[in-house]
Structure 1
Amino acid sequence: MLYIVPTPIGNLEDITFRSLRILKEVDLILTENYKISKKLLNFYNVKTSTKTYHIYNERKKIPFILKEIKNGKNLALISNAGTPSISDPGFLLIKNCIKHSIEIECLPGPTSIIPALVISGFPINEFTFIGFLPKKKRKMKLEKLSKENRTFIFYESPHRLLRTLNDLKDFFGLKRKIVICKEISKIFQETLRGNIKDMILYYENVKKIFGEYILILDKKNENE
């Protein structure tokens, strides 16, 4: 069996008892980056063997993984933080496991999307997770999204944050409400609320933009 095991996105206490038990019981843990994962594994005294599995070696590693599971071993997949396959490696492996009739179980657990969405205060009956905007055909993607009326969730890196805010301005206008969550569950956690214009003005005056960002863009309102 393949277990998809979510891991904390910041605070090491944000992991379930069951996730820890699975990590200790499986035959092998697939880690996106062992140097990052070892902090969690050492903290909870997880001694299970590990092998790396990331976007640069996944096609090469999948045959080995499938063989191990077919030979009766249980494996767990973890990413650097959060739930594997959500803007992290995992999709291709899961797809191949399904193709080969291998049982998969995804444990519930940490993800940055839901906490950010909930605390935004925006309508969540209809929302779309976009993740990182594509580098190519970026404006084409935004133009398509601008024609929909629902809450959008974006991931963004610090060095592209201002560019993305300006792109959102071009397609959604300066008055569209937005919430920006930074470093959820970490020491420098911060939540900013306002419209796109407010956020551009704020970050233009920040000397050093750092951390991981989630942008929650509200639906269109009557005042726009």
Structure 2
Amino acid sequence: MENLEKGILYVVATPIGNMGDITLRAIETLKTVNLILCEDTRVTRKLLDRYEIKVSAMSYHQHSKIAKVDEIIERLKNGENMALVTDAGTPGISDPGNMLVEQVVGEEISVVPIPGASAIGALISVAGIDMQKFVFLGFPPHKKGRQTFFKEAIEFKYPVMYYDSPHRLLKNLELLKELGYAKDIIVGRELTKMFEEVVRGSIDEMTEYFSRKEKIKGELVVILS
């Protein structure tokens, strides 16, 4: 049974690029909690300063030790309300937020979502293909398991989405071609930012397009259609 004296962990979505993409509810929540948990306090502080949010921030990331998790849970048990944010987007998607939520839920502490920006949702909205059913695979492995990742990706009967990094995009496109992938690809780069672009085409067309760039920059979301 839930103890009403316990605090609440709010999982708050923040902008993925454009600082204006934050909800009024998110701002209100960040202003009223006792503590904000974030991946990088320097990154989050820029957002907090933009909206004049004076609440203290504490780092929580994939390398955080068990002692920090224990401290967070203890403070929640003692009635403090906290907000969990990521550097960009919605916590729990390809970041360690889900692990903290699992621990908090296990202690019967309330977890409340404050939805908002997500690179996945942003690209789906402009994809122009049937995305009623799709598979999201996160980031491909750097080395070990990379080929298996893409072999499995092209076998799904639904569109597959994954995140990619600028310095691995061309290598991954090359691997997809080697594996016989022949459908179109959609790449969203720098979504919501000044140099945002959504590029569609075959593997050869995508490879040619991105090879012409002197340097590929920004966050990438890919759809194998």
TM-score where L is the length of structure 1: 0.93
Q: CA deviation at 1:141?
A: 2.1
Q: CA deviation at 1:140?
A: 1.4
Equivalent residue, structure 1, for 2:71: 64
Equivalent residue, structure 2, for 1:221: none
- Alignment match of 1:90 (pick from 88, 94, 97): 97
Equivalent residue, structure 1, for 2:192: 185
Q: Following the alignment from structure 2 to structure 1, what is the Cα–Cα distance between the partners of residues 106 and 121? A: 29
Equivalent residue, structure 2, for 1:113: 120
What is the number of residues matched between the two proteins?
A: 217
SS in 2 for 1:131: coil
Q: Which 10-residue stretch deviates more, 155-164 or 115-124? A: 115-124
- Alignment match of 1:140 (pick from 129, 133, 148): 148
Shift in CA distance, 7/58, structure 1 to aligned 2, threshold 3 Å = farther
Equivalent residue, structure 2, for 1:165: 173
Q: CA deviation at 1:204?
A: 1.8
Equivalent residue, structure 2, for 1:201: 208
Q: Following the alignment from structure 1 to structure 2, what is the Cα–Cα distance between the partners of residues 59 and 195? A: 46
Structure 1 position 46 matched with structure 2 position 38:
no
Poorly superposed stretches of 4+, deviation over 3 Å: none
Task: List per-residue Cα deviations over 1:124-160 (Å, max 9, x = no partner).
Answer: 1210111111232111122222222111111111111
SS in 2 for 1:30: strand
Q: Following the alignment from structure 2 to structure 1, what is the Cα–Cα distance between the partners of residues 219 and 17? A: 11
Q: CA deviation at 1:171?
A: 2.6
Matched residue type, 1:147: E
What is the CA RMSD across the aligned residues, in angstroms? 1.2
TM-score where L is the length of structure 2: 0.93
Structure 1 position 75 matched with structure 2 position 77:
no
Q: What is the identity percentage for the equivalent residue pairs of Structure 1 and Structure 2?
A: 38
SS in 1 for 2:43: helix
